[in-house]
Amino acid sequence: MWQAASLGALLLVSRLVLRLPWTQVLLGLLVTYLGSGGWRFVRVVVKTIRRDVFAAMVLLKVKLKVRSYLRDRKTVPALFASTLRRHPDKTALIFEGTGARWSFRQLDTYSSAVGNLLRSRGLRPGDVAALFMENRNEYVGLWLGMAKLGVEAALINTNLRRDALRHCLTTSHARVLVFGSELAPAIMEIHDTLEPSISLFCSGAWEPDSVPPGTEHLDPLLEEAPKDLPRPSDKGFTDNLFYIYTSGTTGMPKAAIVAHSRYYRMAALVYYGFRMRSDDIVYDCLPLYHSAGNIVGLGQCLLHGMTVVIRKKFSASRFWSDCVKYDCTIVQYIGEICRYLLNQPVRDVERQHRVRMALGNGLRPSIWTDFSSRFHIPQVAEFYGATECNCSLGNFDSQVGACGFNSRILTFVYPIRLVRVNEDTMELVRGSDGVCIPCEPGEPGQLVGRIVQHDPLRRFDGYLNQGANNKKIARDVFKKGDSAYLTGDVLVMDELGYLYFRDRTGDTFRWKGENVSTTEVEGTLSRLLGMADVAVYGVEVPGAEGRAGMAAVADPDISCDLERFARALEKELPVYARPIFLRFLPEVNKTGTYKFQKADLRRESFDPAVVKDPLFYLNAQLGRYLPLDAEAHRRIQSGEQKL
């Protein structure tokens, strides 16, 4: 009875979502049934049918809206205009720092003034304006106003300095730079090397002696600018909206292209998939130069009419007090935030809130249950995705530890797959036909998503630097002649299709809430040390979220000047990308294709009882590398030594 009902529902969903002929659907199900173990397949259907049908309906709903918006050439400003018409006087944004509350009407007025001002200064659709500012309401109004004019915003990571900052401005070809007064010192450091033609505007407190010559104070200019809606640009749904920069691991970040369609897709799949409501109030303490804070969080305001509370920076001690004060129902997190909150002393306020959902990614399975039970949060809405990826996942039913799922019975609906990979080199393993080999349940593999450029849900917009795209695309993955996006992450799928992180191995690891590219850090260290053989990898540190960077250097005599090296790193790399640990050894083993073998290095980590090579750690207080002996190792393990 259950099996018949489940299979019947599955047939109906398959028919509705993909509009496939009944014969093709039946044949596909029969092949899947026989090829996956008969009655065991029926067991999977029974256990996952509700989850998978719901997900298919969400996908169908978003797909239909995407098709309509594509046809009508909708943009994010046009979708925001619809939200504005529904509730103009509802609170859209609250900035915790000042308590400033902006209605949707006020956000519309401010952003229109931005568009009109830039238009009066000669900017046109397709031009680029850089935005370098800490979180506040104005940040949203600035890029939204740019988008109303058709100007593409380059959202620059506020941690970047010197060469990295200059690189972002240069490669974006920005005609205008808007920066917050709090970041004026960073602009002062590089202004002599900027293009003379770039216009500089400072938002916030105005101190003429603290900004580069020629800088204009933005705030009074916006007060005087016309507040009517700028003339709509000819931008369409798949045109560029703004750029989000990958973590600047070498001082050379990459600008990921965010089209209007990508902004909508990311925000909408989260909204419908996690059953959000327009009357929800979101607490957003994540940086707005990243997609989690700007798209997943703020997208719910602009597209679905939620109120979003913006915090300048995350504060563990103020987190729950803020949630109570602003009556928040959804909080955003990255895994590191959850650990910091759990480390806080227990207080009454942490159970006086109305938060019903924690939305984010990177919550470790080991603290998942403790987090949800201590803070009494019914739903943990974990999702997986990167700004540029085409294979986002969602854990729609709060399965502990899972970053999402991939249906094992509707495999043809959402074209993502785990494929076998060499975990040391991240090279895809292929069969005799040259096509990638799918993973079985329990077998680790790299997550990939099939690229379909004419489909806004499956397309890969890539980076401004076209050369960077090639590293993220593989050919002949699902079948001969196709292409797929490479996530670079190793996951494991269980029998029911839930996906779990195996590890962030290969080319990327995460530290201090930022992704760090090992290959790019290797390039920087090789240049600074004057050595070719430098292998960078992430290692676990007890009590710390993510993995700390460690570099193995083929220099047993330690011929480099470590003090000078540490000073150089401060100029070259953001704080989260600097290697915490150094290991000097005779050589770094490589594969036959000259890629570093890092499995043993990761396993041995930074334990001086295991590693006989010289070890050093970066003392953050002193800004120097110090020898890592047994006592230093004990302090790091116990948490006495902060990293």
- Which residues of the chain are in CATH 2.30.38.10 domains? 402-504
76-86 vs 260-273: helix axis angle to the nearest 10? Answer: 50
- pLDDT averaged over every residue in the chain: 89
Using an 8 Å Cβ cutoff, are 641 and 632 in contact? yes
- Which residues of the chain are in CATH 3.30.300.30 domains? 509-638
- Write 202-210 long-range contacts (CB < 8 A, 24+): 202/178, 203/133, 203/138, 203/142, 203/178, 203/179, 204/180, 205/181, 206/181, 207/181, 210/181, 210/184, 210/185
Q: What percent of the chain has pLDDT over 90?
A: 69
pLDDT digits (tens, 9 = 90+) for 408-465: 888 777 889 999 998 777 899 999 999 999 999 999 999 999 999 999 999 999 999 8
CA–CA gap between residue 99 and residue 96 (Å, rounded): 5
CA–CA gap between residue 175 and residue 169 (Å, rounded): 9
Per-residue model confidence (pLDDT) at position 12: 54
Residue with tokens 């249906």: 407
Sort residue 590 into left (φ over 0), alpha (ψ -120 to 50) or beta.
beta
Residue with tokens 């000078």: 564
Output the CA angle 481-394-302, nearest 5 degrees.
100
CA–CA gap between residue 129 and residue 632 (Å, rounded): 47
pLDDT digits (tens, 9 = 90+) for 364-422: 888 899 999 999 999 999 999 888 989 999 999 999 999 999 998 887 778 899 999 98
What's the CATH fold of domain 73-313? Answer: Rossmann fold (3.40.50)
CA–CA gap between residue 428 and residue 487 (Å, rounded): 12
The CA-based dihedral angle spanning residues 270, 272, 274, 277, taken in that order and rounded to the nearest 10 degrees: 110
- Which residues of the chain are in CATH 3.40.50.980 domains? 73-313
- Record the tokens describing residue 169, joined without a space: 């401005």
CATH classification of 509-638, choosing from 3.30.420.40, 3.30.420.280, 2.40.170.20, 3.30.300.30? 3.30.300.30
Q: What percent of the chain has pLDDT over 70?
A: 91
What's the CATH fold of domain 402-504? Answer: Luciferase; domain 3 (2.30.38)
Global pTM reads: 0.82
Q: Is it the case that residue 476 has pLDDT exceeding 60?
A: yes
Distance of CA 257 to the CA centre of its chain: 13
Hey, which residues does 549 pair with through a beta bridge?
538
Q: Is it the case that residue 175 has pLDDT exceeding 80?
A: yes
